[in-house]
Structure 1
């Protein structure tokens, strides 16, 4: 059984708890979990496993004598006092239920509390969230007042990104983060396994790219299996055409070089057909490994200094002579490369993501437009020429908020970053607050007026100085700020209690 370690009730607030008086619901020695037997629940092994996971987590601290609550199917008997009834249906997924103030939520659920607790949820993931809500409230108070809970997330996607390229993290540590994420209602994990300083996922097509320490495919399959059990989506992240320094050690001839012959660190020569195929073959290998996933992050950030395309004249020549773009420049070749990788993945059914810093810059004319289908992970606007988030949205892209000022946990506090603080996140961030503009002006959508294109937010672990912290220290260091982001991304507002727990 997976048992809880440390804080067992990270959420004590839900969107709406309408209390009726008098009356309190409590567990008893005779309490049972009853699953309403309908077409969606009948023979549903995923539902059974989901219920087992949560009941196992709380068995020692809530159930009498540490026993698992017995689980039964059917409606032949009236639920008894102290029972928990679980109904898998669409009650938490309808606009007229009040979810999101009338907006649909695929993760909304309803809990009615009387002599027994009745959970109504649209998916196995939301059943997991709902049971945890019951258990967490019981753990905090020992009872639940009679009434009705309506709960739902403000942000559809609530994510954690881990740079496992620069630093080796064990498979068990990553699986522990998945369990922690599930308890925090985070639903997406992005694993970034290739960097200039390391490449830490086994490759059979190009074994020479790998670091000395790496995750085997069997270990990654165990991670994938754990993520599926805990209803956490996985996104593979293979960055190109930049950040390929480690992989290109075996092909230094595929590094992009300036007019003086100097190699751009980690940058792929995207005018070289063999170099492009090298990346596509790696992508195909990992697309097969992560076949159950739906999204793939292709990077696109920090390819070169984006203000110095002229130092690489071969990029403009490629745009003119190969892409047949009159007046084409290096940025057109760069965008064409990203579009080509995106089209390659989209043809296989993937949704593609890329970073924002090289797109729609104010100092460049793009004759090639990025595919609007590419979702943009917006992390910074430190340079005045970087496009503001409203420009990205105006061009038709969906956007994830990766606000580096609040959510970048950079090992060794490298590159001017300091470790995020939960109190700062709770007091001054909300899902519509993006990285500030150069000069300090805010980029912000007011709460309640978030654009539909804003689909989520993410906390990020970047392993720039891998020896700065151990795995254990990283886990301890992110706990408070990750919990704070998770709560704000779910609730969209400040918690009523204090914030000391997030410090």
Structure 2
């Protein structure tokens, strides 16, 4: 078992002799909190059915040829962790929550032959005997998808959820607004989608999610034990709000070379708005800001956060706060504090990019460290936690090298070994205490990423590398081991039709289990 290419690497693996056979005689038995356990068990049944193995539910946990899912909050297993025991006639999966059982299923999937990722039917499969005790190093293991610079469909987002859930990722952060486009329906401010959504980088048609579509994404993610974190960036990165409602504009102008007129009449909008900005079709940042002195701005934020909170069951709402270069610091600080208070008012915890640490943060607020370690330190000194996303290591939109056809390199070229070889507790010449780190997130910005195939290319294989950093204790990680294990996943991705990058740092033709 210890030689199998499991990613993220488990905490402990104990080998044994023999194997368990999955065939038509096997049953699944639920023990303890059965309804919750069934959610994880269904995921196992689902991918086994793809290869023709229909596994029914049974009742006798002491019978032979059973896969037992036991959910018992009283067990001595950490949150999201699991114990997996595979014997010749029984598989026993234990956890204190349903997510732990689900993550055990992802491990089982990787213990099975890569052929299970295809559709060729089989009569039996073998699991190696042994035991795994496993739990995550960090509670938050995330990916961010920028749907504002380029818009991606509900089905594209679901595909991303499917792929990242296999690596025990448990948060998907959706960047829902930026200068180029507004992507979520806000019923109290309808022009955000009538006008603000109809653009993207390059001047394309853009798009948006209705609230029902957003709820569909949230529910689908939850079925894979992933929590959605919505982001509305403010006070900068807000041109899509300013071209929808000029009343929010303090007088900013869009860079002339990237400005595209908004034809309000063509959109069926008869009321003129002289203060509204044109669309921004480029990738320049830092030119926009909300009017931080206007009461209307805070009513706008209140309405947006209220509607978003109502359809977001997860604990966090992200308020952005980055690169607001034209907002004076004396205006920025009270703005962030007011936005934070609104998020709190609606029962959510605030997240923001590391610049928000200039404001007075609540202990429940989280600063996402992307650029400046000193900002992260300021947040920690206030009693807040940080989410670690250093651009030089985790930004999935960075080119692998100078020959990569998509992506940028303003932060770094990030090859696979660069994405793997770092420690969240030691970044930017600063040492962070373990207790100060909520987790790790890998953002994928979409200035140059235009479709699902490009999302996959920039995400794989780097996302699994960052997933291992977030899940596996540092002492259990090594590039030598990871580079061999990831090679086996290439064959799985090919069967799944994933457009991945074949890093020259990996021998992709190496033998796999």
Q: Is this a same-fold pair by TM over 0.5?
A: yes
Matches within 5 A, 1:100-499: 105-114=78-87, 115-139=89-113, 143-210=126-193, 211-212=197-198, 213-257=207-251, 265-290=287-312, 292-304=313-325, 309=328, 330-331=329-330, 333-360=331-358, 369-381=360-372, 387-410=374-397, 412-414=406-408, 416-417=410-411, 420-426=414-420, 428-434=421-427, 436=428, 442-445=429-432, 450-465=433-448, 468-493=449-474, 494-495=477-478, 496-499=481-484
Distance 1:247 1:13, change over 3 A: same
Distance 2:192 2:48 in 1: 43
User: Who is 1:79 aligned against?
Assistant: 63
**Contact 2:66–2:90 (Cα < 8 Å) also in 1:** yes
Distance 1:477 1:16, change over 3 A: same
**Contact 1:132–1:183 (Cα < 8 Å) also in 2:** yes
What is the Cα deviation at residue 335 of structure 1? 2.0
Q: Report whether the alignment pairs 1:17 with 2:13.
A: yes
What is the Cα deviation at residue 296 of structure 1? 0.5
Distance 1:198 1:47, change over 3 A: same
Distance 2:363 2:47 in 1: 42
Distance 1:152 1:370 in 2: 30
Distance 2:353 2:8 in 1: 34
Q: Deviations over 1:450-491 (max 9, x none)?
A: 4212010101111123xx542222223212101111122111
What is the Cα deviation at residue 373 of structure 1? 2.8
Distance 1:160 1:462 in 2: 11
Distance 2:356 2:73 in 1: 41
Matches within 5 A, 1:1-80: 11=7, 13-20=9-16, 22-36=17-31, 38=32, 40-41=33-34, 44=35, 46-61=36-51, 66-75=52-61, 78-80=62-64
**Contact 2:19–2:126 (Cα < 8 Å) also in 1:** yes
**Contact 1:107–1:153 (Cα < 8 Å) also in 2:** yes
**Contact 2:41–2:69 (Cα < 8 Å) also in 1:** no
Distance 1:497 1:277 in 2: 50
Say which SS state the counterpart of residue 371 (structure 1) adopts.
coil
Say which SS state the counterpart of residue 250 (structure 1) adopts.
coil
What is the Cα deviation at residue 497 of structure 1? 4.6
Distance 1:49 1:369, change over 3 A: closer
Distance 1:369 1:14, change over 3 A: closer
Runs (5+) with no aligned partner, structure 2: 116-124, 199-206, 253-274, 278-285, 399-405, 488-501, 504-513
Say which SS state the counterpart of residue 188 (structure 2) adopts.
coil
Distance 1:287 1:485 in 2: 29
Distance 1:199 1:10 in 2: 39
Say which SS state the counterpart of residue 278 (structure 1) adopts.
helix
Say which SS state the counterpart of residue 271 (structure 1) adopts.
coil
Ranked by relative contact order (alpha carbons within 8 Å, sequence separation 6 or more), the top structure is: 2
Distance 1:497 1:209, change over 3 A: closer
Q: Deviations over 1:340-392 (max 9, x none)?
A: 221222122111111112534xxxxxxx63333321111112xxxx7253332
What is the Cα deviation at residue 143 of structure 1? 4.1
TM-score, reference length from structure 2: 0.76
Distance 1:476 1:59, change over 3 A: farther
What is the Cα deviation at residue 59 of structure 1? 3.1
Distance 1:458 1:497, change over 3 A: closer
What is the Cα deviation at residue 50 of structure 1? 3.0
Distance 2:338 2:18 in 1: 62
Runs (5+) with no aligned partner, structure 1: 1-7, 98-104, 310-329, 361-367, 437-441
Say which SS state the counterpart of residue 106 (structure 1) adopts.
coil
What is the Cα deviation at residue 415 of structure 1? 6.5
Distance 1:13 1:409, change over 3 A: closer
What is the Cα deviation at residue 18 of structure 1? 1.7
What is the Cα deviation at residue 257 of structure 1? 4.9
